[in-house]
Structure 1
Amino acid sequence: MQRDKVLTIKRKIKYPRIELKTGTPVLILPQDDSFDAVEILDKHRKWFQQKLEFTEKIKKKYKNQKIYERSESDLIKLITNFVSEYADVLGKKPDKISFRYMKTKWASCSRKNKITFNFMLKYLPPRLIRYTTFHEMAHLLIPNHNKNFWFLIKREFKNYPHFEEELFGYWFLLQNKKLIKE
């Protein structure tokens, strides 16, 4: 791994972390110079290199995927239908659903049973919107990504790792097309 290819940012945090959310490696350090960037990168070199290679593989694999065009209102209708369908399947519905543009995720589920969907989902095929909806609805029952959560996901989506990979690929594709702002 070449250290000069890693962007280093200092923020008001206690502990350093490495992010690859945009496909570009970013080392985030505390502002107080209590951690050495070179030491951190050397310590986690193997893990970091594996993540970089995986990210590059995904970017190449999904660079020519079809980008769907639908309006925000069509996306809202589609997701609302999926929410209703999965509320029956799971026996639980969100207290509130909302939509907005997000920089780092497709959707989220709060402890207050509120699901927020990223309007960027409008560019995805319906099967990935369906999967994302079910994934967030599953969080109404199981808040974290433990074994029980993935077991529930697998009941509905047998090949869920492929859906996760495809979402990852679309994220980079949309960033490359400048549809997601970094």
Structure 2
Amino acid sequence: MSNTKQYELEVIVNPRLKHSYISISKEKKVVVKTPSRSQKFVEKILEEKASWIAKKLQQTESIKLLDETPLHTLEFLQSRVEHYSSLMDLQYSALKFRKMKRRWGSCSSKRVITLNKELLKLEQKLIDYVVVHELAHLIHMNHSRAFHALVEKHLPYSQTLRKELQTIRIA
């Protein structure tokens, strides 16, 4: 298994799984979840996915973890939503805050905007991007060109902010 010298490997065998899965943990460890106990089977998977693994490990090098200390308050987040809601002339039915594992925010078809409490730890420009992004979903419930044009209209540097946000891992 020559690939394991480049990274730490964890194999989780679960006979109830139908397929095998590869992921990269927060600790930059390659995790293989598989129904098979065969070491040759795992080696084959690692060999087949070697380029994907290398790409993902390289991407994790640029990922930043959030500081533990919040920079803002929930009232500040609410004020940013109200500011951009007014600016974009959009009305939402409710605004909620909760801790989410994978998303910075969401917008439901019932016009409820939910923001991740981890936003409190981000710079204002990144908060503004998430807010405008979610408000834009009130008009476009997808990520079409029209959606991105609307976001870009209110934040002309939104593509840069989006890329920056992608380099930050939610705790």
TM-score (norm 1): 0.67
1:46 aligns with 2:51: yes
Secondary structure at the residue paired with 2:169?
helix
**Greater fraction of residues in helix:** 1
Please name the residue that 1:140 is paired with.
Answer: 138
Please name the residue that 2:117 is paired with.
Answer: 119
Q: Which has the larger radius of gyration?
A: 2
For residues 3 and 77 of structure 2, the distance between their equivalents in structure 1, rounded to whole angstroms, comes to 42
Matches within 5 A, 1:125-164: 125-164=123-162
Structure 2 contact 24–31 (Cα < 8 Å) conserved: no
Structure 1 contact 27–37 (Cα < 8 Å) conserved: no
CA offsets 1:21-71 (integer angstroms, 9 cap, x no match): 7363555647x55xx554444333323322221221x13xx57x9876346
Structure 2 contact 8–30 (Cα < 8 Å) conserved: no
Q: Number of residue pairs matched?
A: 165
Please name the residue that 1:22 is paired with.
Answer: 26
The CA deviation at 1:111 is: 2.9
Structure 2 contact 151–158 (Cα < 8 Å) conserved: yes
Unmatched tracts of structure 1, length 5 or more: 173-179
The CA deviation at 1:128 is: 1.1
Structure 1 contact 68–125 (Cα < 8 Å) conserved: no
For residues 141 and 13 of structure 1, the distance between their equivalents in structure 2, rounded to whole angstroms, comes to 40
Please name the residue that 1:85 is paired with.
Answer: 83
Greater Cα shift, 115-124 or 152-161: 152-161
The CA deviation at 1:133 is: 0.9
Identity across aligned pairs (percent)? 25
**Is the alpha carbon distance of 1:26 and 1:68 closer, same or farther for their aligned partners in structure 2, counting shifts above 3 Å?**
same
The CA deviation at 1:154 is: 2.2
TM-score (norm 2): 0.70
**Is the alpha carbon distance of 1:142 and 1:120 closer, same or farther for their aligned partners in structure 2, counting shifts above 3 Å?**
same
Unmatched tracts of structure 2, length 5 or more: none
